[in-house]
Chain A
Amino acid sequence: MSFGIEILTSTGRQSSDALNTYGIFYILQCNSEAGSASIPEFDSNHGFYVPRVQNSNNHQIFTWNNSTKVFTWAKSNGNLHSSDFSVVFFRGYV
C-alpha cells in the first residue's frame, strides 16, 4: 500500500483503498404520493438512490435531474400509491 492509511482490525489490516465503497449520506422521507425535493449535495455521477416502498403494491416512477438537483416521484398509474416511504441516497467514488 502506497497511499492512505491502514487500520488494524480483528480480521487483519484494512487499507483505505479497501474501504472504497458507497455510504448513505441522505435519507429522504416522502409523505405524499407524488412530489419533489431538492438535494443539492447529490451527484448521480458519484452515487445512486434506493427507494424503499413497503406499504403499497404500486411503485412510483422516480427521476433525478442532475442539473437542477431535483428529485421527483410520480404515480405510475391511477391507483393508490404509498405516501409514507423513504429514498436512501448513496454516494461514493468506486
Chain B
Amino acid sequence: MSYGYELYNDSGNIVASSNDRTLVTYAKYTLSGSSVTNQITYDYIPGAPYNVSGQTTLTGCYTFGLPGGFTMADNLFLGFTVPVGRSVFVRYLYKPAGRLIISDQPTLTMVVAGPLQSVSSYPATWGMIGYNDVGTATFHSDARVLKILKRIDGTSFNAGGHSPVFFMSGNYFYHKLASGTRRLRMTGVRLDSATTYTRRCNNNVGVSLVADQIWETDPLGNGFLASVDLTLI
C-alpha cells in the first residue's frame, strides 16, 4: 500500500482501510404495517426439505411498504430490526415492482445504508477524512459508519449492546409448486435472543407445495447483519 491509511486492531488485522468503502447509515424509518393473511414459515436447514423442519404458522402478520418520499437507488441497502421472538421477511426488496415486506410485528424499524456521501455533506470541522487512491473520500469521522458484523449465516452475533439490523434482499429461495412451477419465496429471520437468530423461509397459507423438495438455493446467502446504535440516526 502506497497511499491512504490502514488501521489495525490488536490482533493485527485491518479494521479500516482507505481503499475500502465503508457503508454509512443515512436514515431510519418506523414503518407501520397493514394486517395480512397468516403465513407459514420454515427454519432453514441446509440440505433439508423445506416443508418438514421447523414449520410454524405466523399469526397476526403485517405487510409494509417503503416510506413515502423514499427513493431506492442501486447503491443503497435496506435493513430491518425486530424485537426478540419476532420475524421479518422480504421478497424482491431491490426490485421496482413486487416488493414485499412481512412481519409478525405491527411496526418495523428500517435503516438505510449506503456508501459515504460527498465530503460536503458532513460538517468536517474536526476529526479525520480518508481518501482512496483516486481521490474519493472513503472515511469521514462524522459519518455514522455501519458496523457490519457478519454475513447472515445463522450463527450467533455480538451487537455490542446495540440493535441487530438484518440487511437482506430475500431473492434466494426457490420452491416448486404442485404444478411444477418454480417460485421465489420470501426469506427472512426470526430474532431468538440478543445474540441469536434463525434463518427462515416463508410461504403463503394455502399454497400447495411439492412434498420433500430440497432447498434449491441458499436462502439469505446474500444478506448481512449489522450492529446499529439507533439513537444516533
Residues on A facing B (Cβ under 8 Å): 2-5, 7-11, 14, 16-25, 48-55, 57-59, 61-62, 76-77, 79, 86, 90-94
The answer for the CA separation of A2 and B146 in the assembled complex, in Å, is 23
Q: How far is the CB of B115 from chain A (nearest CB, A)?
A: 7
Binary flags per residue of B104-120, CB closer than 8 Å to A gives 1, else 0: 00000000000100000
25 contacts between A and B (CB under 8 A): A3-B10, A4-B7, A8-B126, A9-B126, A10-B123, A10-B126, A14-B141, A16-B9, A19-B7, A21-B145, A21-B226, A22-B224, A23-B16, A23-B21, A24-B115, A25-B17, A54-B74, A55-B96, A57-B92, A57-B95, A59-B171, A59-B184, A59-B217, A93-B9, A94-B150
Give every chain A residue within 8 A of B145 (Cβ-Cβ).
19, 21
A88 to chain B, nearest CB (A): 9
- Could you say which residues of chain B place their CB within 8 Å of the CB of A86? 74
CA distance A91 to B174 in the complex (A): 28
Which residues in B have their C-beta under 8 angstroms from that of A79?
Answer: 182
A16 and B7 contact, CB distance less than 8 A: yes
Which single residue of chain A is at the shortest CB-CB distance from B150? A94
- CB-based contact B172/A59 at 8 Å: yes
Q: For the complex, what is the distance from the CA of A9 to the CA of B129, rounded to whole Å? A: 11
CB atoms of B9 and A3 under 8 A apart: yes
Q: Which residues of B contact A76 (CB under 8 A)?
A: 174, 216-217
Closest 6 CB pairs of A and B: A23-B20, A93-B13, A48-B151, A22-B148, A16-B7, A24-B21
On whether the beta carbons of A90 and B9 are closer than 8 Å, the reply is no
Q: How far is the CA of A55 from the CA of B216 in the complex (A)?
A: 21
A2-B10, A57-B92 are contacts. A21–B146 as well, Cβ < 8 Å?
yes
